């Protein structure tokens, strides 16, 4: 008999106990293991012991807000592959952009029906199991990009890179010298189940350029982005 896959672990962070109770009920019913925290500082402590696969995070919370909490989580190496989803009543574009700037994988505006939220969570977690392991290693110039363990080596130095940044880099590098517009990148990297603003792509491109040699990612004004290899 084959070994069962480990139960996905989700950390719920919200200062409203009714929302926590509702989320716990629906996620536990779907077979997820959950833990909860009522603010950002508590979330950091719980995450260290619970080691979640995914964190569902509110923005407005006492003591420490969700944006700062996500930023701190992304600075902890053991959580670089942990998915961060914001679930918040804040619908302003600048807040959404700020969330992606600190490493969010999705941004969901309340209210959302529990079944729809569970479907979004399942879709994000499912992307890991659907990745093809063949030709998962890309070596271009000083860069080595390994899809198997989500690692990037730049001129011999390992880079710390959140999962969505990695997926964007990997996708572009898999299709060198081909231009993709923002809509195409949102569909291919974030997926059709994730609804984010186009500026999210710009934020992630900027963060990639801060980490890898600037000659690799080119902007074609008014068209899109491409991973450039000089031929």
CA distance 102 to 70: 6
Q: Is the pLDDT of residue 195 over 90?
A: no
| CB-based contact 105:85 (threshold 8 Å) | yes
Q: Is the pLDDT of residue 128 over 70?
A: no
pLDDT greater at residue 5 or residue 164: 164
Q: What's the rounded mean pLDDT across residues 116-122?
A: 88
Mean pLDDT computed over every residue of the chain: 86
What the block records as the tokens of 174 is 């898999």
Q: Is the pLDDT of residue 66 over 80?
A: yes
Q: What percent of the chain has pLDDT over 90?
A: 44
Q: What's the rounded mean pLDDT across residues 83-111?
A: 88
Alpha-carbon dihedral sign for residues 162, 168, 171, 173: negative
- pTM for the model: 0.67
Q: Is the pLDDT of residue 56 over 90?
A: yes
Q: What's the rounded mean pLDDT across residues 122-140?
A: 69
Please give the pLDDT value at position 125. Answer: 82
pLDDT greater at residue 120 or residue 41: 41
Query: How many CB atoms are located within 10 Å of the residue 121 CB?
Result: 25
Q: What's the rounded mean pLDDT across residues 112-141?
A: 76
- Looking at residue 195, the DSSP 8-state letter turns out to be -
Q: Is the pLDDT of residue 21 over 80?
A: yes
């Amino acid at each position: 008999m084959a070994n069962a896959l480990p139960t996905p672990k989700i950390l719920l962070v919200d200062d409203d106990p009714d929302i926590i109770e509702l989320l716990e009920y629906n996620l536990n019913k779907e077979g997820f293991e959950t833990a909860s925290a009522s603010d950002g500082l508590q979330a950091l402590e719980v995450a260290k012991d619970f080691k979640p696969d995914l964190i569902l995070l509110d923005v407005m919370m006492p003591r420490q807000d969700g944006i700062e909490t996500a930023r701190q989580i992304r600075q902890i190496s053991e959580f670089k592959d942990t998915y961060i989803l914001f679930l918040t009543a804040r619908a302003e574009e600048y807040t959404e952009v700020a969330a992606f700037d600190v490493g969010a994988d999705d941004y969901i505006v309340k209210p959302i029906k529990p079944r729809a939220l569970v479907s979004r969570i399942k879709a994000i977690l499912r992307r890991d199991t659907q990745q093809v392991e063949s030709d998962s290693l890309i070596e271009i110039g000083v860069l080595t990009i390994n899809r198997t363990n989500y690692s990037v080596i730049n001129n011999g130095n390992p880079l710390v890179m959140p999962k969505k940044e990695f997926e964007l880099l990997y996708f572009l590098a898999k299709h060198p010298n081909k231009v993709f517009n923002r809509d195409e990148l949102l569909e291919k990297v974030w997926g059709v189940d994730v609804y984010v603003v186009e500026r999210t792509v710009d934020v992630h491109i900027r963060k990639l350029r801060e980490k890898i040699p600037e000659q690799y990612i080119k902007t074609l004004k008014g068209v899109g982005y491409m991973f450039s290899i000089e031929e």
